[in-house]
């Protein structure tokens, strides 16, 4: 245990003093503040002279204002934070020849990788919690609505999910830093993997779905089942992407009016407001049960990739060269 804590403590100190992290952190902080401000003022204008709907507070995080919502923002750029925190975790130690020294100290070998992962996870948690708190604070001032206990719970779940989502990328980039000897290679590999899983997988999903269950428009007219099976295949493949899992999971958690993970209609805040007049919001446990598979898959893939890097690292020969 001392080993893990010592490694973790040193890594934290390194992270806090490293320039690239400070830069990224500032960037994310600034952008999320700007987003919150735009969304907040937008909401205030729209809510003028109308009765405030329930869960207006959560709209701060979900409605996209002029640019994008915070959820979309974290879904896009959160992975970068994870990658930046982990891409040189092990191969940097290797190239500066400190790894052989570390493993010859009386600590279990896994203490090194656990300590590094723990330090990364702590950094990510600090980042997510402070961003959410800042936006909440700003939102309180801008729209003047205090969140109820259920909204706070939803936010907590959202934060946990975000932390796992970014930790997934931390795990991936650490795995690459173990497998690839060169820091540049592991960074590029992690970014390539990120682009692939986040952006190209959806294209790929349609193509694979076309191949597995092709839809002939004429046949589909008679047999709508075809369309359904096509859609199911496409969805199943797109769930490989942690970004899909994360954004569908979190939007459902943060938006009590959502009763399915799919957003079929693009809705502006006004449409949403009018819907909320006629529909009852889902209770928290119902929202959770809709996205439980998403949540579990997200946590599971995070753990799988960490376990993978763990076992690769434990088996690797340590040579000074």
CB of 35 to other proteins, least distance (A): 34
Angle between helices 284-315 and 109-143 (to 10 degrees): 150
Encoding tokens for residue 224? 């709508």
Q: List Cβ neighbours of 252 (8 Å cut-off, separation of 6 or more).
A: 258, 261, 287, 290, 291, 294
Encoding tokens for residue 169? 């990328």
Candidate residues 23, 27, 30, 318; the one interacting with other proteins per rule CB under 8 A: 318
| Position 108 contacts other proteins (CB under 8 A) | yes
Candidate residues 49, 106, 149, 265; the one interacting with other proteins per rule CB under 8 A: 106
CB of 16 to other proteins, least distance (A): 13
CA distance 60 to 155: 11
Nearest to 285 by CA among 184, 159, 194, 154: 154
| Position 3 contacts other proteins (CB under 8 A) | yes
CB of 310 to other proteins, least distance (A): 17
| Position 7 contacts other proteins (CB under 8 A) | yes
Candidate residues 33, 103, 191, 282; the one interacting with other proteins per rule CB under 8 A: 103
CA distance 208 to 194: 20
| Position 10 contacts other proteins (CB under 8 A) | yes
Encoding tokens for residue 246? 């994360």
| Position 12 contacts other proteins (CB under 8 A) | no
Nearer to other proteins by Cβ, of 18 and 286: the residue is 18
Nearer to other proteins by Cβ, of 52 and 101: the residue is 101
CB of 149 to other proteins, least distance (A): 42
Candidate residues 12, 29, 31, 102; the one interacting with other proteins per rule CB under 8 A: 102
CB of 21 to other proteins, least distance (A): 14
Q: List Cβ neighbours of 136 (8 Å cut-off, separation of 6 or more).
A: 57, 60, 147, 155
CB of 205 to other proteins, least distance (A): 42
Candidate residues 66, 96, 141, 222; the one interacting with other proteins per rule CB under 8 A: 96
Running DSSP on this structure, what letter comes out for residue 198? I
CA distance 311 to 131: 33
Candidate residues 2, 45, 149, 217; the one interacting with other proteins per rule CB under 8 A: 2
# binding residues, other proteins (CB under 8 A): 23
Nearest to 33 by CA among 80, 59, 70: 70
Nearer to other proteins by Cβ, of 104 and 280: the residue is 104
Start-end of H helices in the chain: 2-17, 19-46, 59-62, 70-86, 91-95, 99-103, 109-143, 149-179, 183-195, 201-212, 217-222, 225-238, 242-254, 269-278, 284-315
Chain residues in the site for other proteins (CB under 8 A): 2-3, 6-7, 9-10, 17, 96-98, 100-108, 317-320
């Amino acid at each position: 245990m001392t080993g893990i804590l010592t490694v973790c403590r040193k890594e934290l100190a390194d992270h806090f003093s490293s320039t690239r992290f400070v830069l990224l952190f500032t960037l994310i902080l600034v952008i999320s503040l700007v987003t919150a401000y735009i969304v907040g003022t937008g909401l205030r204008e729209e809510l003028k002279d109308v009765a405030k709907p329930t869960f207006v507070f959560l709209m701060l995080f979900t409605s996209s204002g002029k640019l994008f919502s915070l959820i979309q923002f974290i879904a896009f750029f959160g992975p970068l934070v994870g990658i930046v925190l982990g891409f040189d975790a092990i191969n940097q130690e290797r190239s500066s020849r400190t790894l052989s020294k570390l493993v010859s100290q009386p600590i279990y070998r896994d203490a090194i990788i656990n300590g590094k992962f723990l330090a990364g996870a702590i950094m990510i948690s600090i980042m997510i919690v402070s961003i959410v708190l800042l936006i909440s604070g700003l939102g309180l001032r801008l729209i003047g609505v205090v969140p109820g206990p259920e909204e706070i719970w939803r936010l907590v779940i959202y934060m946990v999910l975000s932390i796992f989502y970014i930790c997934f990328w931390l795990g991936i980039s650490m795995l690459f830093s173990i497998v690839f000897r060169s820091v540049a290679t592991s960074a590029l590999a992690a970014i390539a993997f990120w682009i692939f899983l986040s952006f190209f997988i959806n294209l790929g999903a349609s193509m694979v779905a076309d191949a597995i269950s092709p839809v002939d428009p004429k046949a589909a007219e008679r047999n709508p089942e075809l369309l359904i099976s096509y859609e199911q295949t496409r969805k199943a493949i797109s769930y490989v992407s942690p970004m899909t899992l994360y954004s569908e999971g979190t939007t459902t958690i943060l938006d009590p009016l959502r009763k399915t993970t799919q957003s079929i209609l693009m809705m502006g805040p006004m449409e949403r407001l009018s819907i909320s007049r006629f529909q009852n919001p889902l209770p928290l446990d119902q929202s959770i049960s809709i996205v439980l598979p998403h949540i579990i898959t997200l946590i599971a893939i995070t753990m799988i990739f960490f376990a993978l890097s763990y076992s690769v690292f434990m088996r690797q020969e340590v040579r000074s060269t």
